Structures are given as structure tokens and as C-alpha cells.
Amino acid sequence: MRTSIGSIVLLSLFMLTCNTSNDGVDLSKREPLKDLAAILERGTLRVLTENGAVSFYEYKDKFLGFEYDILDTFARSIGVDLEVVMISNPKDFVKKLNTFEGDIIACNKPITMSDKELHAFSLPYNHSFQVLIQRNNPDSLIRDISELQNKTLYIRNKSAFVKRILHLEDEIGANIEVRTLPNYPIAEDLIEKVSNGEIDYTIAMENTARIEQSCVTNIDISTLLSVRQNIAFGLRKSDELLKEKLDYFLDDFLYSKAYKVLRNKYFDYMEETDFFIRQKDTITNEDIRLSDYDEMFKASALKRNWDWRFLASIAYQESRYNPNARGFGGAYGMMQFMPNTGPSFNVYPDSPPEVQIDAGMQYIDKLYNAWDNIESREQRLKFTLASYNAGKGHVEDAVRLAEKLGYNPTIWDENVELMIKLLSDPNYYRKPPVKYGAYRGPAKTYVKSIYSRYMSWRENE
């Protein structure tokens, strides 16, 4: 093929234009942008984090986490999106930070002198203590750290807790056996193993332990193993402008109403709703009237051809019929809508009870229709309940695990419900076919409680 001289000239001019900025600077010779400028040009702030209760997780199809919410607010304040880079191996945090695979470390990280040698820290945005996690058995609780002599503590491999144990051994003048488990289980994974009796002791930061204690109530977290430690984000030492910008943001944000709301959302909500969490199920089979809202349940269910008692059983489980309830992650109202889900059903924290109930019925109906591949109505109802509690994504992960491991993916009982439990194990939640990460919620007991209560009410009509 012949090429004309004119074509060559035009091509040369085009290539020159593509490599030249508006002010005539040759872009091919320009120094690559670094620090804050690189983030602003890229349009994303990359956070290195882990799948944990304080840092980052997905719940009811919403991205959550105390640290995630802080950094998401910061990212929006500088006009970029927040991008999550999940880390499994603790030693990869610093490695990936210093190889520019991430911009900020967010893993509930205490400030230590040794870590200051590896990277910079932001202003502290939280504080916590290292605490001993043990089962709540009054006859064998450890309160004096000297009693850790010759005990076995399971901790995350390569974690900061190793240093604390070395100091404890020196302080008590005795050996503490330290063991790790494969696949780098995080604190929440180890807390669950303490709860179910697989191990006796582990260590966690108190803020993480307090969140987990709301789900696994048979653990004790009262024995302190450290002084109060400041928690901060990790940054590259070379990223001075990013640190300056983040510190300026934190210095203002930590005194704002938004920060107080955020702390309440993750750490203090248990106190506000403690009555509803601890209250026993006092409704008897002989009760004809279930609540003050029965007529509202009936009206909403009738519009979509549902049994109103199914809807009422969910509302009882979620809030004990409290239209002003506040729950984990910002969940609100009688039906405990998440802030990202409620508006799509036109329900908000200040919506009246009838609106809350009708929105809940709409959401339940939507989830039920999404499981149209389940032939059994009973099983389909249980998949609906699991999705309402855990989010459809985590239930889909459990279905995929069932298919992989030879269980029936269309049966909840003794099949998919078993897979839901595996989603708290890093041997499963960090590998295909799982897409949505760890799930440590009570979906199995949630489904059982609501469905059995519903059937009891039906049988005693």
C-alpha cells in the first residue's frame, strides 16, 4: 500500500499534538504525578483495607465500616471516588503501600514506634485497647495477666499483637504460647472460634471486640492487655501533601456532628437499642393481637397477597415493633432499613409506621420474586428472609458454595444455611466462588426464628 507525503505530514502533526499539552509542554517527557496530584488526576483514592467490622464489609448490599465511611467522606471532600483494595496477608499492607498499589492503610492500626519507621501516620481518629477474648465462664475468667502463664493464645500471623505478647511475657516473667492459623484469619474470625469453643483465647482491639460481642454474646472482652492506643491511617512518608490534606480534614471532621453520628452508628448503637436486643420473645401462641400495628400489617400484606403474620414476624424480629429503633450500620425503623435501601422504597427515619411497614412489604415482595428459581414456597420464603437479613449478595455466595461443595443450592435447610456459616471462614470467603467477602451475621438463626414464629402463629389462628 502506498502512503502519500501529505498523509505522513498529517500523521506526524497528530502524534505531536497528542504528546503536547495546551501550553506546548512535551507530555512524554513530563515527570509522573505523585502524592495528592496523582490521586486527583486518577480520580480515585485507593484504600488498603481488610474485611472486618471496623474497617470494611458489606451488609444488606451496602458498603460499610467505620474507617471506610471516614475515608469515603474524605474522598468526596477532595472530589474523588474511594476504591477499596482488599488485603489478606498483614505484611502486604506496607508492601503494597510502598509499591503504590494503594494510597492509605485502613486496618484499625495502632500507632507504634516500629511502624513509624515503615510509613507515616495521619492524625489519630480513634483510640482503643488490646483486650483478651475468652468465653464468658465465671469460674475460669482471666482477670490478672499473670494468669496467662502457659496459656495458648491464637493470633493473626504477622499481626501487631505478637509484640504485645512478647512484652507480656517479659512483664509476667513466664511463657505464653502463641499459635497462628492458616490463611491469616482476622480478629473477627478468631473471636468466633473462641465463641464456638474451637480455641480458648485470642487478642483483639476493644472496638472490634465490642462490635463482635453484639453478635456472639458468650464472650468476655473486659480484661485489658495494653494501655490506650491511638488509631490512625497509614500513608507513604513521601506523600506529604496527602497527609497534610487528610490531617486538615480529620482535624475538622473529628469535632463535627457527622463524626459523632458515625461513632454512634458503629460503636454506641447497642446502648440505644439494648432493650430491644435483650428483650425476650414474650408473645405467646394464644395471643390474637400481635401488636398495635396489626391493621397496618394486614392492609399492606393484602395489597400484595401476602400473609400479614409473615410481615409481622419480621418486624418483631427486627425491632420488636419499635418504629423509632436504630440499629447497626445506621439501620432505622420498625423494618430496619439501611440508609442506602430505604429511600428506594420511599421510607426514611422519620417516616410514619404505616409507611415503614408498607416499604418493608414491598422489599420482601421484591426479594421473594428475585428467588423465582426456588420451586418450594417454604424454601423460597427462607431464602427471602436470609436475603432480607444478610443481603442478597451474601446469600448468592452461599448458593454458589453449595453448588461447589455438592449441596442442594435450592434448599435452605441443612444445605445453603450451612454454607452461610462457611462465609465467616477465610478458607472460603477469600476464594472463588465467593464474591462479596466475609459474612458473620446471624442469617441462619434469623431465618429459623422468624419462620418458626410465623408458623406458630398460623397454627394457632
pLDDT along the chain (461 residues), means of 10: 43 48 53 87 96 86 90 96 93 94 95 93 93 91 89 85 86 89 89 93 92 85 90 96 96 88 74 36 47 94 94 94 88 94 95 97 97 95 96 96 96 95 92 92 90 84 60
What is the fold of 35-126+232-271? Answer: D-Maltodextrin-Binding Protein; domain 2 (3.40.190)
Q: Which amino acid is at 245?
A: K
Contacts of 148 (CB under 8 A, 6+ apart): 132, 142, 168, 172, 174, 176, 201
Predicted pLDDT at 333:
95
Ranges of H-type helices in 173-216? 187-195, 206-213
Predicted pLDDT at 8:
42
Q: Cα angle at 394 between 53 and 44, to 5 degrees?
A: 60
Predicted pLDDT at 201:
96
Domain edges within the chain: 1-27, 35-126+232-271, 130-226, 272-459
C-alpha cell at 444: 441462619
Predicted pLDDT at 52:
87
Common-topology check for domains 35-126+232-271 and 272-459? no
- pTM value is 0.67
CATH code at 130-226:
3.40.190.10
| Class in CATH terms, 272-459 | mainly alpha
- The C-alpha atoms of residue 17 and residue 22 are separated, in whole angstroms, by 9
Q: How many CA atoms lie within 13 Å of 205's alpha carbon, on the beta-carbon side?
A: 22
Predicted pLDDT at 399:
98
Predicted pLDDT at 461:
60
CA 40, chain centre distance (Å): 27
